[in-house]
Chain A
């Protein structure tokens, strides 16, 4: 089955840029969606179809997808961005929705 690999944790200072990767075999051929989840809360969609932003999500959040890696980029990181981030794709080979293991973003 298809596997998505995320780093368990990423740390960044306030005001800097955070990059969270999501690795998968030829993931560039799939559509990647990203979710933010704060402790005790439900996930919130932050990026869909690789790079689109839902209304209400700051422009500081952006996404890209090519080759074997998709990336969620958060510019000018704020304390409120501290959360777990999950990537997700649809794997048509197995008829399964697949999530990455999640990345904990820590704002130093």
Chain B
């Protein structure tokens, strides 16, 4: 059974930093690309970042580029999101989502499995 479990969320002051993790199990982690997607309270889904299976291709939403860094450790079956310079508008539930197609390349396929999310609150 595919499982994605996010952790690392919490309350942080504006300008602060946080590192999110996503622990994966139930599939060959190193062969799948992954995404971070967030959802602000009462709002729709917003894609944050993508990393290919080999880490060779990385993309960011304009709203987080230069502040957030996505990475992965295929030996540890884990995905990460380092978030710096946090702003109130970054407050959201952050989900990791698996790309539905095996292999490297662009995130053209569906996001077939999602974690339950971790809440990040940016407030003083």
**A residues with CB within 8 A of B:** 1, 31, 33, 35, 37, 41-45, 48-49, 54, 84, 86, 88, 90, 92, 95-102
Residues of B within 8 A of A97 (CB): 35, 37, 47, 50, 59, 107
Closest to B116 in A: A42
Residues of B within 8 A of A31 (CB): 108-109
Contact between chains at A96 and B47 (CB < 8 Å): yes
Given contacts A90-B108, A96-B61, contact A42 B115 (CB under 8 A): yes
Contact between chains at A100 and B62 (CB < 8 Å): no
Residues of A within 8 A of B37 (CB): 97, 99
Q: How far is the CB of B32 from chain A (nearest CB, A)?
A: 14
Q: How far is the CA of A5 from the CA of B37 in the complex (A)?
A: 18
Contact of B95 among A42, A90, A95, A98 (CB under 8 A): A42
Given contacts A43-B114, A96-B47, A99-B44, contact A90 B107 (CB under 8 A): yes
Contact between chains at A98 and B47 (CB < 8 Å): yes
Contact between chains at B45 and A35 (CB < 8 Å): yes
Residues of A within 8 A of B44 (CB): 84, 86, 99-102
Q: Give chain B interface residues in 100-124, CB to chain A under 8 Å.
A: 100, 106-112, 114-117
Contact between chains at B45 and A45 (CB < 8 Å): no
State whether the Cβ of B46 lies closer than 8 Å to any Cβ in chain A.
yes
Q: List 13 A-B contacts (CB under 8 A).
A: A37-B45, A42-B117, A48-B109, A86-B44, A88-B45, A88-B47, A90-B106, A90-B108, A95-B59, A97-B37, A97-B59, A99-B37, A99-B45
Closest to A94 in B: B62
Contact between chains at B45 and A96 (CB < 8 Å): no
Residues of A within 8 A of B111 (CB): 33, 35, 43, 45, 88
Residues of B within 8 A of A102 (CB): 44-45
Residues of A within 8 A of B116 (CB): 41-42
